Structure 1
Protein backbone atom coordinates (compact mmCIF):
# COMPACT_ATOMS: atom_id res chain seq x y z
CA UNK A 1 0.00 0.00 0.00
CA UNK A 2 1.34 3.39 -0.99
CA UNK A 3 0.33 6.53 0.88
CA UNK A 4 0.70 10.19 -0.08
CA UNK A 5 -0.25 13.45 1.60
CA UNK A 6 -2.40 15.91 -0.31
CA UNK A 7 -3.28 19.48 0.62
CA UNK A 8 -6.17 21.23 -1.11
CA UNK A 9 -7.29 24.82 -1.16
CA UNK A 10 -11.04 24.78 -0.57
CA UNK A 11 -13.46 27.18 -2.25
CA UNK A 12 -13.52 29.37 0.90
CA UNK A 13 -9.72 29.79 0.69
CA UNK A 14 -8.95 27.49 3.63
CA UNK A 15 -6.59 24.56 3.25
CA UNK A 16 -7.41 20.96 4.13
CA UNK A 17 -5.05 18.00 4.49
CA UNK A 18 -5.90 14.58 3.10
CA UNK A 19 -4.14 11.25 2.75
CA UNK A 20 -4.22 9.27 -0.47
CA UNK A 21 -3.86 5.50 -0.29
CA UNK A 22 -3.51 3.14 -3.23
CA UNK A 23 -2.38 -0.40 -3.86
CA UNK A 24 0.34 -0.50 -6.47
CA UNK A 25 -1.12 -0.93 -9.96
CA UNK A 26 -4.73 -1.04 -8.69
CA UNK A 27 -5.74 2.22 -10.37
CA UNK A 28 -7.95 3.11 -7.38
CA UNK A 29 -7.00 6.05 -5.17
CA UNK A 30 -8.74 6.36 -1.79
CA UNK A 31 -8.78 9.83 -0.22
CA UNK A 32 -8.98 10.01 3.58
CA UNK A 33 -9.38 12.76 6.13
CA UNK A 34 -7.93 11.23 9.26
CA UNK A 35 -9.41 7.72 9.47
CA UNK A 36 -12.50 8.60 7.40
CA UNK A 37 -12.71 7.62 3.74
CA UNK A 38 -13.93 10.69 1.87
CA UNK A 39 -13.93 9.42 -1.71
CA UNK A 40 -12.42 6.85 -4.06
CA UNK A 41 -11.31 7.63 -7.58
CA UNK A 42 -10.48 5.33 -10.48
CA UNK A 43 -7.61 6.21 -12.81
CA UNK A 44 -9.05 6.18 -16.33
CA UNK A 45 -5.63 5.47 -17.86
CA UNK A 46 -5.87 8.63 -19.98
CA UNK A 47 -4.64 11.19 -17.47
CA UNK A 48 -7.80 11.77 -15.46
CA UNK A 49 -9.95 10.15 -12.79
CA UNK A 50 -13.58 9.33 -12.19
CA UNK A 51 -15.38 9.08 -8.88
CA UNK A 52 -16.01 5.46 -7.92
CA UNK A 53 -17.27 5.89 -4.32
CA UNK A 54 -18.30 8.92 -2.26
CA UNK A 55 -18.92 7.86 1.36
CA UNK A 56 -17.88 11.31 2.65
CA UNK A 57 -20.46 13.05 0.44
CA UNK A 58 -17.81 15.25 -1.21
CA UNK A 59 -19.47 17.92 -3.34
CA UNK A 60 -18.64 18.46 -7.03
CA UNK A 61 -16.15 21.24 -6.29
CA UNK A 62 -14.19 19.14 -3.79
CA UNK A 63 -14.21 16.16 -6.17
CA UNK A 64 -12.82 18.35 -8.97
CA UNK A 65 -10.08 19.70 -6.70
CA UNK A 66 -9.13 16.18 -5.59
CA UNK A 67 -9.00 14.96 -9.19
CA UNK A 68 -6.67 17.82 -10.18
CA UNK A 69 -4.28 16.86 -7.38
CA UNK A 70 -4.50 13.15 -8.15
CA UNK A 71 -3.35 13.78 -11.71
CA UNK A 72 0.07 14.61 -10.26
CA UNK A 73 0.23 11.34 -8.30
CA UNK A 74 -0.47 9.15 -11.32
CA UNK A 75 2.10 10.83 -13.59
Structure 2
Protein backbone atom coordinates (compact mmCIF):
# COMPACT_ATOMS: atom_id res chain seq x y z
CA UNK A 1 0.00 0.00 0.00
CA UNK A 2 1.45 3.37 -1.03
CA UNK A 3 1.50 6.20 1.48
CA UNK A 4 1.69 9.78 0.24
CA UNK A 5 2.68 12.93 2.12
CA UNK A 6 2.64 16.59 1.09
CA UNK A 7 5.59 18.56 2.43
CA UNK A 8 6.75 22.14 2.11
CA UNK A 9 10.44 23.05 2.17
CA UNK A 10 11.94 26.49 2.69
CA UNK A 11 14.54 27.07 0.00
CA UNK A 12 17.85 28.92 0.42
CA UNK A 13 16.31 32.13 -0.95
CA UNK A 14 13.55 32.08 1.68
CA UNK A 15 10.76 30.96 -0.64
CA UNK A 16 8.82 27.75 -0.13
CA UNK A 17 8.41 24.80 -2.49
CA UNK A 18 5.84 22.02 -2.32
CA UNK A 19 6.82 18.39 -2.76
CA UNK A 20 5.07 15.04 -2.64
CA UNK A 21 6.71 12.12 -0.86
CA UNK A 22 5.64 8.55 -1.61
CA UNK A 23 6.62 5.34 0.10
CA UNK A 24 5.34 1.81 0.35
CA UNK A 25 4.16 0.77 3.80
CA UNK A 26 7.07 -0.73 5.79
CA UNK A 27 9.60 0.44 3.18
CA UNK A 28 12.73 2.42 4.01
CA UNK A 29 12.74 4.18 0.62
CA UNK A 30 10.97 7.51 0.21
CA UNK A 31 10.53 9.01 -3.26
CA UNK A 32 10.30 12.79 -3.68
CA UNK A 33 8.26 14.35 -6.48
CA UNK A 34 7.61 17.88 -7.69
CA UNK A 35 4.28 17.88 -9.51
CA UNK A 36 4.50 14.43 -11.11
CA UNK A 37 8.27 14.51 -11.78
CA UNK A 38 10.40 12.12 -9.71
CA UNK A 39 13.30 14.11 -8.26
CA UNK A 40 15.07 11.80 -5.85
CA UNK A 41 14.82 8.78 -3.58
CA UNK A 42 16.12 8.63 -0.03
CA UNK A 43 16.64 5.54 2.13
CA UNK A 44 16.11 5.75 5.88
CA UNK A 45 19.10 4.37 7.73
CA UNK A 46 20.32 4.36 11.32
CA UNK A 47 19.50 7.96 12.24
CA UNK A 48 20.21 9.40 8.81
CA UNK A 49 18.88 9.60 5.26
CA UNK A 50 20.92 8.29 2.34
CA UNK A 51 20.36 9.65 -1.16
CA UNK A 52 19.63 6.63 -3.36
CA UNK A 53 19.13 8.42 -6.67
CA UNK A 54 19.10 12.03 -7.74
CA UNK A 55 17.22 12.04 -11.04
CA UNK A 56 16.27 15.70 -10.56
CA UNK A 57 19.91 16.75 -9.99
CA UNK A 58 19.07 18.31 -6.63
CA UNK A 59 21.74 20.55 -5.15
CA UNK A 60 23.34 19.55 -1.84
CA UNK A 61 21.52 22.32 0.05
CA UNK A 62 18.10 21.14 -1.14
CA UNK A 63 19.02 17.52 -0.38
CA UNK A 64 19.79 18.54 3.22
CA UNK A 65 16.55 20.49 3.53
CA UNK A 66 14.53 17.55 2.22
CA UNK A 67 16.28 15.16 4.62
CA UNK A 68 15.26 17.40 7.53
CA UNK A 69 11.62 17.28 6.42
CA UNK A 70 11.76 13.51 5.89
CA UNK A 71 12.77 13.02 9.53
CA UNK A 72 9.24 14.03 10.51
CA UNK A 73 7.70 11.31 8.33
CA UNK A 74 9.69 8.42 9.75
CA UNK A 75 8.10 6.86 12.82
For the superposition of Structure 1 and Structure 2, which TM-score range results when normalised by the shorter chain?
Answer: over 0.9
Q: Which has the higher helix share?
A: 1
DSSP-derived class of the 1:63 partner: helix
Gapped regions of structure 1 (runs ≥ 5): none
Q: Which has the higher strand share?
A: 2
TM-score normalised by length of structure 2: 0.95
Number of the residue aligned with 1:19: 20
In structure 1, how many angstroms separate the alpha carbons of the residues matched to 2:43 and 2:4? 16
Query: Number of paired residues?
Result: 74
Gapped regions of structure 2 (runs ≥ 5): none
Number of the residue aligned with 1:52: 52
TM-score normalised by length of structure 1: 0.95
Number of the residue aligned with 1:71: 71
Would you identify which runs of 4 or more consecutive aligned residues in structure 1 move more than 3 Å?
none
Give the superposition deviation at 1:31. 0.4
DSSP-derived class of the 1:2 partner: strand
Alignment RMSD = 0.6
